[in-house]
């Protein structure tokens, strides 16, 4: 029995050593600076992303892209933030990294919330919550539940928001997540403020502020200070309001968190205006407006327009007041219709989510019963396996004596195999494109004519697909070569997936062009493969700001030896190239033959 226990412990330790995987130290270092110094975090992250792509370490790539998106978001660069978050989400989904996909969806939801895309934000949060529940990620569930509460608070569903916050706090109290508790307490205070209970709101804000003194978390401190400033302003205690607002500004400026800094500047300006300090109020309104405009915070811009109009009216500048009021009314009309539409969609999704959760609870109970039975069976199998291992130890001793006699012979064989493998690796490197890991132009020029000759000799058809990424030069010029290289890797990875279950092969012909050779296949099969590739890339929705479609697409031309009447490689290539020209001149994002 003692021997069996030792074997069990050894096997458990071995499993842990294989399963444990720590993030690279550079990632941890960058993560520490995202809140305090996002620009420095980016200096660490951008080379790390490139290195992960070169090493085909898709998990590290997805994490680093998420961190970079967070850093850009805090710096007030929403376009860059969206690009990196989308790339990270694509990398996680393409390679099956579910935990990282959940993290990216949650971060993307926060980004959408901060720029006023609430319905899209909720969709990301619900997807993240589903993934995190599947893996029993307590802290992740708590964070996403808190974020769903913010959505409900935004549409005025305060009681449901409080339910989410209470659920989130209960989960966070079981972990060491102090920062998350600070934010959730402040969020719950906002919901109570929405219900008209300012006293309860202030108690929650003060609890959050006290908690922030136990840790170094300027974002959480700033959030609590800002909310307290607003509450005291509503109560008419303006000196106390100004004190909390200026502390919120200092906290957000210390970490350069632009999305929250714009809100804090606006709240401080409101207090200055209530104090009749018009110069400071106007200065902070203009600062908030500049920040909100750079981050596309339309609701905040609307509120600033209204306050600038009132400020101008109080100062007797009726011309400016009229101009600001006109801009306020235009924004209010535009946002009202969007808000009503999004509120309906959010409430509908919330209803469906709660109904589905009830079904999931029933299924989980059934699964737990089955799991209990399986565990009993696993224990019996494990015990038998352990006894088998003991017997195998004795057999191993005798077999070792035989192996020692053959050691010299085996050593020579190993050296020979190592040389063969080294030669094979060198040949592979010489034939592989270093960026996309597809065959390179040199390999295509060598193998493509050989396949054509072999098809002719055996009386078989052969097809060729030429593909070209649409508007890729504009993508490179706008977003830079690092983004262009990342795009090429993603397209190549998708192409490999499309060909995974087929005997066909692909090469990077040059720049943004790819060639696919289909031995023993005709035009119909080539059209099927080409359309699969085109549709899969379209469904991936990689953002392209200068494309008419708003995303990365690809055009493809196909031809076969029988369709063009020749097995000559050059003739077949020209036929496919002509078809590609038709696809691009006909509007792109299509297949032609």
Domains of the chain in start order, with CATH, are: 44-136 (1.25.40.10), 436-592 (3.30.70.270)
Give dist(CA 290, CA 297) in Å, integer.
Answer: 10
Give dist(CA 80, CA 479) in Å, integer.
Answer: 9
For residues 468 and 580, the answer to whether their CB atoms sit within 8 Å is yes
Give dist(CA 554, CA 537) in Å, integer.
Answer: 8
Helix axes 178-194, 198-212, angle to 10 degrees: 170
Which is it for strands 591-592 and 554-560: parallel, antiparallel or unpaired?
A: parallel
Dihedral of CA atoms 415, 418, 420, 425 in degrees, nearest 10, equals -160
Q: Find the distance separating the first CA and the last CA of the chain, reported in whole Å.
A: 72
Give dist(CA 525, CA 209) in Å, integer.
Answer: 65
- The mean pLDDT value of the chain amounts to 81
| Each residue's pLDDT tens digit, 228-274 | 999 999 999 999 999 999 999 998 888 777 878 888 999 999 999 99
Position 452 scores a pLDDT of 93
User: What mean pLDDT is predicted for residues 279-288?
Assistant: 92
Single out the residue of 245, 243, 253 nearest to residue 218, CA to CA: 253
Rounded to 5 degrees, what are φ and ψ at 462? -145, 135
Beta pairing partners, 506: 516
Helix axes 178-194, 218-234, angle to 10 degrees: 20
User: What mean pLDDT is predicted for residues 213-239?
Assistant: 90
Consecutive H or E run containing 559? strand 554-560
| Each residue's pLDDT tens digit, 147-163 | 999 888 888 889 998 99
Residue 225's pLDDT band, with cuts at 50, 70 and 90, is very high
Give dist(CA 236, CA 241) in Å, integer.
Answer: 8
Residue 20's pLDDT band, with cuts at 50, 70 and 90, is very low
Position 296 scores a pLDDT of 77
Single out the residue of 287, 281, 282, 204 nearest to residue 253, CA to CA: 287
DSSP 470: T
Give dist(CA 183, CA 212) in Å, integer.
Answer: 10
Position 285 scores a pLDDT of 93
Position 390 scores a pLDDT of 47
Single out the residue of 147, 142, 120, 121 nearest to residue 132, CA to CA: 142
Position 515 scores a pLDDT of 95
pLDDT above 60: residue 11: no
565: left (phi over 0), alpha (psi -120 to 50) or beta: left
Helix axes 318-405, 118-134, angle to 10 degrees: 20
pLDDT above 50: residue 5: no
User: What mean pLDDT is predicted for residues 23-49?
Assistant: 83
512 belongs to the catalytic site:
yes
Rounded to 5 degrees, what are φ and ψ at 444? -60, -45
pLDDT above 50: residue 177: yes
Position 13 scores a pLDDT of 40
Residue 397's pLDDT band, with cuts at 50, 70 and 90, is very low
Q: Which of 118-132, 185-199, 406-420, 482-496 has the lowest mean pLDDT?
A: 406-420
Give dist(CA 457, CA 450) in Å, integer.
Answer: 11
Give dist(CA 87, CA 248) in Å, integer.
Answer: 33
pLDDT above 90: residue 360: no
pLDDT above 50: residue 492: yes
Single out the residue of 567, 374, 360, 317 nearest to residue 454, CA to CA: 567
Position 6 scores a pLDDT of 44
Q: Which one has a higher pLDDT value, 469 or 322?
A: 469
pLDDT above 90: residue 458: no
For residues 565 and 501, the answer to whether their CB atoms sit within 8 Å is no
Q: Which of 73-87, 163-177, 322-336 has the lowest mean pLDDT?
A: 322-336
Whole-angstrom Cα Rg for the chain: 31
Residue identified by tokens 């006290």 is 210
Query: Which tokens is 561 given?
Result: 């030896």
Q: How far is CA 139 from CA 143, 172, 541, in A?
A: 6, 6, 30
Residue 364's pLDDT band, with cuts at 50, 70 and 90, is low
pLDDT above 80: residue 87: yes
User: What mean pLDDT is predicted for residues 333-354?
Assistant: 54
Residue 415's pLDDT band, with cuts at 50, 70 and 90, is very low
Strands (E), 270-418: none
User: What mean pLDDT is predicted for residues 348-364?
Assistant: 51
pLDDT above 70: residue 401: no
Give dist(CA 384, CA 575) in Å, integer.
Answer: 65
Point out the catalytic residue in the list 221, 287, 350, 512: 512
Q: Which of 218-222, 448-452, 575-579 has the lowest mean pLDDT?
A: 218-222
354: burial class by Cβ within 10 Å (0-12, 13-18, 19+)? exposed
């Amino acid at each position: 029995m003692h021997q069996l226990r030792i074997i069990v412990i050894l096997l458990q330790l071995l499993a842990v050593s294989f399963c444990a995987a720590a993030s690279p130290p550079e990632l941890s270092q960058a993560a520490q600076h995202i809140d305090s110094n996002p620009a420095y975090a980016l200096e660490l992250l951008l080379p790390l992303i490139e290195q992960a792509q070169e090493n085909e370490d898709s998990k590290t790539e997805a994490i680093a892209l998420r961190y970079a998106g967070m850093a850009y978001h805090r710096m007030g660069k929403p376009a860059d933030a969206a690009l990196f978050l989308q790339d990270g989400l694509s990398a996680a989904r393409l390679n099956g990294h579910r935990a990282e996909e959940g993290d990216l969806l949650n971060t993307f939801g926060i980004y959408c919330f901060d720029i006023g895309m609430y319905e899209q934000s909720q969709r990301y949060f619900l997807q993240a919550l589903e993934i995190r529940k599947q893996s029993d990620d307590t802290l992740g569930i708590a964070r996403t539940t808190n974020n769903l509460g913010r959505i409900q608070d935004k549409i005025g569903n305060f009681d449901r928001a409080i339910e989410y916050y209470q659920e989130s706090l209960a989960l966070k109290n079981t972990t060491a997540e102090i920062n998350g508790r600070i934010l959730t307490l402040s969020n719950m205070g906002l919901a109570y403020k929405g219900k008209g209970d300012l006293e309860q709101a202030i108690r929650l804000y003060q609890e959050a502020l006290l908690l922030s003194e136990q840790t170094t978390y300027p974002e959480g401190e700033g959030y609590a200070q800002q909310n307290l400033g607003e509450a005291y302003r509503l109560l008419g205690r303006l000196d106390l309001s100004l004190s909390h607002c200026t502390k919120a500004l200092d906290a957000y400026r210390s970490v350069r968190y632009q999305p929250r800094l714009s809100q804090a500047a606006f709240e401080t300006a409101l207090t200055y205006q209530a104090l009749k300090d018009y110069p400071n109020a106007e200065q902070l309104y203009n600062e908030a407006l500049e920040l909100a405009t750079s981050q596309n915070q339309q609701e905040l811009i609307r509120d600033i327009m209204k306050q600038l109009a009132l400020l101008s009216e109080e100062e007797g500048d009726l011309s400016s007041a009229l101009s600001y009021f006109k801009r306020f009314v235009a924004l209010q009309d535009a946002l009202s219709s969007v808000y009503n539409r999004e509120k309906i969609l959010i409430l509908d999704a919330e209803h469906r989510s709660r109904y589905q959760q009830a079904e999931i609870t029933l299924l989980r109970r059934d699964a737990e019963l089955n799991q209990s039975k399986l565990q009993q069976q696993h224990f019996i199998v494990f015990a038998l396996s352990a006894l088998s291992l003991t017997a195998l130890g004795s057999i191993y001793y005798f077999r070792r004596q035989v192996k020692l006699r053959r050691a010299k012979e085996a050593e020579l064989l190993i050296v020979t195999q190592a040389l063969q493998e080294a030669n094979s690796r060198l040949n592979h490197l010489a034939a592989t494109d270093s960026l996309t890991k597809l065959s390179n132009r040199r390999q295509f020029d060598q193998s493509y004519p050989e396949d054509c000759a072999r098809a002719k000799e055996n009386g078989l058809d052969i097809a060729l697909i030429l593909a070209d990424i649409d508007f890729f030069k504009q993508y490179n010029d706008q977003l830079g070569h690092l983004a262009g290289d990342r795009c090429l890797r993603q397209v190549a990875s998708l192409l490999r997936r499309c060909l995974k279950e087929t005997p066909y092969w692909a090469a990077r012909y040059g720049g943004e062009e790819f060639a696919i050779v289909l031995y023993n296949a005709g035009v119909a099969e080539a059209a099927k493969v080409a359309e699969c590739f085109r549709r899969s890339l379209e469904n991936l929705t990689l953002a392209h700001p200068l494309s008419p479609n708003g995303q990365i697409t690809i055009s493809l031309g196909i031809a076969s030896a029988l369709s063009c009447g020749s097995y000559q490689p050059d003739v077949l290539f020209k036929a496919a190239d002509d078809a590609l020209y038709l696809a691009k001149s006909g509007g792109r994002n299509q297949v032609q033959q």
